[in-house]
Amino acid sequence: MTKLTFNCLLKVAGVDPKHVALVRHQISTQHSVKKYAAYHLLREKHPKFELYQKIQRRDSPKKKTFERKYWASFVATPQGNSMFAGLYVNRGTIDFPADVRKCPVTGNDVNESTHCFYNLEYDDKLDDYSEKLFVEWKARGARAWVQKADIQDKAIVELLAEIRVDTFPGYKSFRHEQLSDIESIPDSWQEKLRSSKGIYLLWCNKTGRQYVGKADGQDGFWGRFLKYARTVDGGNEGMKKHNATKGYTVTILEAIAAPMQDEIDALEKLWKEKLGTYSDWGLNENK
């Protein structure tokens, strides 16, 4: 069976792969928001996405590849996939706009002496595939984020009929297996978590030890989960003593839109007793 590749689509569209640079956007950082910033900006149709990719370092070892007539842009998704963003015509470099002095994603200083500003125009030849097509970039290739299409013919691993909508699964079904990168979930999910309070459960991905907690602050579940993502232990004494080298999975036990404080306190105590997280197996130290 003939393997369907990205170059097949380019040729059908009348674009010679020899004139195409493959560009995959992912920031080199452990901070999940910045790491997948290009993906989130693309999904939000934010103009910062196109501004971000127009800025490239002058000393880039891939400078000649950037000079190709077309750029086929891809973004790394929080799920580890490579999603097609769109095809762009490269009109060459132009002077930096007067109001662009920082990278819109990293916040780093940019200027004409250290960076090039490319005049990119969206080409609708492959518009039907934007945000629907996923290619195999391969692990080693992830580091080589700029490649030549005629040399690296990417296999198409998934093609959706419609753009996938990241639908919130509901509070009872919500589960995120790495609390440290909770910021990578869709913005619409964040709003859902922000709008409700209740009881959540964390368990260590290495030992299985559990912690029951309550989200009763102004930003609900989202505010509480965000604190864990940034501090690991969230200020909890039992978790401070625990060496969770593989992080925590988080799920919601009970969600309440507008609970009274005594109601949420009672629910937290009830769930601690039900799951036995006061015991040596648990991570709750306060009753």
165 burial via Cβ count (<10 Å: 0-12, 13-18, 19+): exposed
Q: Which helix (H) or strand (E) holds 54?
A: helix 48-54
Query: Is the predicted pLDDT of residue 168 greater than 60, yes or no?
Result: yes
pLDDT, position 224: 93
CB 27 within 8 A of CB 34: yes
pLDDT, position 221: 95
List all residues 6 or more positions away from 198 whose beta carbon is below 8 Å from its beta carbon: 171, 214, 215, 220, 221, 252, 253, 254, 255, 256, 259, 264, 267
pTM: 0.67
Tell which residue, 262, 263, 266, 176, has the closest CA to residue 221: 176
Q: How far apart are the first and last CA of the chain?
A: 62
Query: Is the predicted pLDDT of residue 236 greater than 90, yes or no?
Result: no
Domain limits of the chain?
Answer: 6-159, 175-275
Tell which residue, 133, 98, 141, has the closest CA to residue 117: 98
CB 271 within 8 A of CB 199: yes
Write the CA distances from 61 to 19, 57, 99, 152, integer angstroms: 18, 9, 27, 17
Query: Is the predicted pLDDT of residue 274 greater than 80, yes or no?
Result: yes
Give the homologous superfamily in CATH for domain 175-275.
Answer: GIY-YIG endonuclease (3.40.1440.10)
| pLDDT tens-digit series, residues 180-207 | 888 878 878 888 999 999 999 999 988 9
Write the CA distances from 221 to 104, 120, 167, 211, 249, integer angstroms: 28, 41, 18, 15, 14
| pLDDT tens-digit series, residues 49-105 | 999 999 999 888 888 999 999 999 999 987 789 999 999 999 999 999 989 999 888
